[in-house]
Structure 1
């Protein structure tokens, strides 16, 4: 396949997402190949997944947004699904360019770019390195700085540590990611430790130019009310970290995982912001 070439295919999205038809596609970018899921038709909405996780996390949110008249694109990071390529010597800008290759292959024009948790850093890097590809930015349950409570860092690391028992991992997931009363078992699977290591290495190698996305694009911060990893910030704190062009929306009864807990509320927030 030549660089920029696209392979097409289709499948059915799991019925829990509303039954919308899902396409699977790939594009080659230099030494990397990036795969993504796609739903619907219309203006583009690009969804970027959390640390060590892939496009499967959007299989509920994606179809709901598509049903409102959008072309929804959810790429897998390198090391998950059809996505592959060098895993060392990268920065957030390399990961952002992988996402930009999806938008270029789709030829859909500037997109609303939404990043969940770690994905927010890639969204902000895309805003910096490919501003013409971005219409607006949405940050979902996002840490806007790299400062993290050590207990929550331990919960993150324990969630996907294969040396731990399922019960131990479940405890870490419940403490770090899910609001009380929600079943954290839905996230026991779907973790890719080598991908998380690559993403952390890339983040550490990146300058600070990417951070202030709201200086470049209108930005929506969607907070989860019971988020223990990224507690609900004040609007003043968001403006100080991101720039003045940011608004804040809070989704109740959700923790840092957010997507499996409140998929419809997330979809509605994205639809409102994209319209």
Structure 2
């Protein structure tokens, strides 16, 4: 991906951890039993297997919850933390919920599902077809369940570490005024807040170069 390439060009070793049961990874993935702590420990186990003791951690969408949870339980591993398209603790509109739910519905006709993906994840005018393939509904169900197994207040502050929030200005399911801006207001100096124009929840696929520049510049302080 453009984002990964930009990090490599900046001198970082990039590790993209596949969720359990996806690709060549192993482990049970269930929408009824998978917990956030299990996913947190998957990250720790992977880093230990690779002999990595310290990381710059980037979490996108659900990954912002997982990244903050990991930082909360294992703060010594985390040198710097960046959250992309971080959702907030608020009730989504019925339209947003419908678009999000149906983006995972593989039984929908291709054009209808593309409409749902565009609605939930992309800013107007951006090409949502690049996200049409590569979906894992079972993973989505597991992530939803994992989120329910941990109190958001437990991980909200990420063990008190300072972190970056990059929010998309046209994020339909996580609007800045209900998500990143709220977090920045609550945690004040702990949060560096940046907003990217003409992007939705699919932020890293819509404006990868701008996101990369923001994250790389932020991590320079470490």
Task: Return the TM-score normalized by structure 1.
Answer: 0.73
Q: Is the 8 A contact 1:218 1:245 kept in 2?
A: yes
What is the count of residue pairs matched by the alignment? Answer: 216
1:218 aligns to 2:162 (yes or no):
yes
Take 1:129 and 1:243, find their aligned partners in 2: how far apart are those partners?
22
Task: Provide Cα deviations, 1:141-197, integer angstroms capped at 9, x if missing partner.
Answer: 110325322211211111120111111111111111111111100001111001111
Take 1:135 and 1:166, find their aligned partners in 2: how far apart are those partners?
42
Corresponding residue to 2:52 among 97, 108, 113: 108
More strand by share: 1
User: Superposed, which structure 2 residues align to 1:1-275 within 5 Å?
Assistant: 59-88=1-30, 89-145=33-89, 147-208=91-152, 209-213=154-158, 216-233=160-177, 237-239=182-184, 241=186, 244-275=189-220
Q: In the TM superposition, what is the alpha-carbon distance from 1:236 to its structure 2 partner?
A: 6.0
> 2:193 aligns to what SS in structure 1?
strand
Q: In the TM superposition, what is the alpha-carbon distance from 1:259 to its structure 2 partner?
A: 1.3
> 1:260 aligns to what SS in structure 2?
helix
After superposition, the Cα gap between the structure-2 partners of 1:242 and 1:201, relative to the gap in structure 1 and judged at 3 Å, is farther
Structure 2, gaps ≥5 residues long: none
Take 2:23 and 2:119, find their aligned partners in 1: how far apart are those partners?
28
> 2:170 aligns to what SS in structure 1?
coil
Take 1:170 and 1:219, find their aligned partners in 2: how far apart are those partners?
33
Higher normalized contact order (CA 8 Å, seq sep 6+, divided by chain length): 2
> 1:231 aligns to what SS in structure 2?
coil
Q: Is the 8 A contact 2:167 2:180 kept in 1?
A: no
Q: CA RMSD in A?
A: 1.8
Task: Return the TM-score normalized by structure 2.
Answer: 0.90
Take 2:213 and 2:16, find their aligned partners in 1: how far apart are those partners?
17
